[in-house]
């Protein structure tokens, strides 16, 4: 799963790489200065203190701390310079938090599994979840301090549902021919916006905007517990997930090739 990074995380990495290239002289200067400082500290420790186990341990801690400080300074400078980077960073936090909750839901037996970061021509799907008794769920993860753009988020979630329905119809048509299996191509797709950050504390139970439900991240597993609808058998779920993962792998390769 680590290969298929969230869209926000991929964009963040690309923007960071671009920023480093544009400010290469400053980055090299800062890195060289930190390398010189680490060398100086190492020289002081090895010449002024007895070579004990504690000295080597302390030296290691100081070296790692200085290197981490350098990286944090670069990251802070990047985030301060690129306004859009903050949005991508929050998006990545939201998707990663939702993935943690999905792991919990699978351990509790609420879902069969899910596929993250599915790239489509018309946009990305954050998470497409195959539940046990609620059909398919298209999850749009958001990180907000204030939920002032609920209408926009609802429209994005509706688009995610339409993408998921189109994907199911195109990839899972063969399910219609197997009577003993769940008809995945006709399963309903439920859109949901999972909110993280400070905004989640203001989301009431059952909150809806334009027929799209909004769920606080901390209550997402409870929402999945209460979800009812079309049941999916285990072998059908395994087939759905395999097809989705195959599709994601193909589109991921194409997207990465186009980005280079």
Q: State whether 237 and 253 are in the same domain.
A: yes
Q: Encode 163-186: b = buried (16+ Cβ within 10 Å), e = exposed.
A: bbbebbeebbeebeeeeebbbbbe
In this structure, the answer to whether residues 212 and 235 fall within a common structural domain is: yes
Task: Give 3-state DSSP helix, strand, coil % of the chain, rounded to 5.
Answer: 65, 15, 20
Domain assignment of residue 26, given as a range: 7-81
Say if residue 110 is in the same domain as residue 14.
Answer: no
User: Does residue 56 sit within a domain?
Assistant: yes
Beta bridge pairs of residue 119: 124
Q: What is the pLDDT of residue 29?
A: 92
pLDDT per position as a tens digit, 117-143: 888 777 788 899 999 988 899 998 988
**pLDDT for the residue numbered 139:** 92
Which of 81, 112, 133 lies at the terminal end of a domain, its last residue?
Answer: 81
Domain boundary among 39, 56, 81: 81
128 and 235 share one domain: yes
Beta strands in the chain (DSSP E): 111-120, 123-131, 136-143, 189-196, 208-209, 212-216
Do 58 and 134 reside in the same domain of the chain? Answer: no
CATH at residue 241: 3.40.1350
pTM, rounded to two decimals: 0.76
For the chain, what is the domain count?
Answer: 2
Averaged pLDDT in 10-residue chunks for the chain of 260 residues? 67 89 92 94 92 93 94 89 85 91 95 89 84 90 80 84 81 53 63 89 84 90 89 89 88 59
pLDDT digits (tens, 9 = 90+) for 82-124: 888 888 888 889 999 999 999 999 999 999 999 998 887 777 8
Of 193, 97, 118, 108, nearest in space to 152 by CA: 193
CA distance 47 to 55: 11
Answer yes or no: do 191 and 116 share one domain: yes
Q: Give the model's pLDDT for residue 182.
A: 47
Shared domain for 90 and 185, answered yes or no, is yes
Is 110 domain-assigned?
A: yes
**How crowded is the C-beta side of 152, counted as CA atoms within 13 Å?**
5
Residues 77, 90 share a domain: no
Q: Which residues of 205-231 are buried (b: 16+ CB within 10 A; e: fewer)?
A: eebebeebbbbbbebbbebbeebeeee
């Amino acid at each position: 799963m680590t290969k298929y990074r969230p869209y926000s995380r991929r964009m963040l990495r690309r923007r960071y790489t671009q920023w480093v290239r544009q400010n290469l002289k400053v980055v090299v200067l800062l890195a060289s200065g930190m390398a010189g400082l680490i060398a100086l500290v190492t020289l002081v420790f090895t010449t002024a203190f007895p070579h004990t186990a504690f000295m080597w341990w302390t030296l290691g801690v100081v070296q790692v701390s200085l290197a981490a400080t350098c990286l944090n300074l670069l990251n802070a400078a990047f985030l301060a310079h690129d306004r859009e980077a903050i949005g991508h960073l929050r998006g990545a936090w939201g998707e990663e938090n939702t993935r943690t909750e999905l792991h919990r839901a699978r351990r509790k037996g609420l879902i069969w599994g899910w596929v993250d970061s599915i790239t489509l021509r018309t946009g990305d799907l954050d998470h497409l979840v195959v539940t046990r008794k609620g059909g398919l769920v298209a999850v749009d993860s958001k990180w907000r301090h204030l939920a002032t753009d609920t209408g926009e988020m609802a429209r994005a979630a509706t688009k995610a549902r339409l993408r998921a329905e189109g994907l199911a119809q195109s990839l899972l048509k063969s399910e219609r021919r197997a009577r003993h299996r769940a008809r995945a191509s006709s399963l309903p797709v439920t859109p949901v916006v999972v909110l993280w950050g400070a905004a989640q504390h203001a989301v009431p139970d059952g909150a809806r905007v334009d027929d799209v439900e909004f769920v606080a991240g901390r209550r997402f597993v409870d929402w999945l517990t209460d979800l009812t609808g079309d049941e999916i058998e285990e072998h059908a779920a395994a087939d759905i997930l395999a097809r989705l993962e195959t599709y994601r792998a193909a589109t991921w390769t194409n997207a990465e090739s186009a980005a280079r």
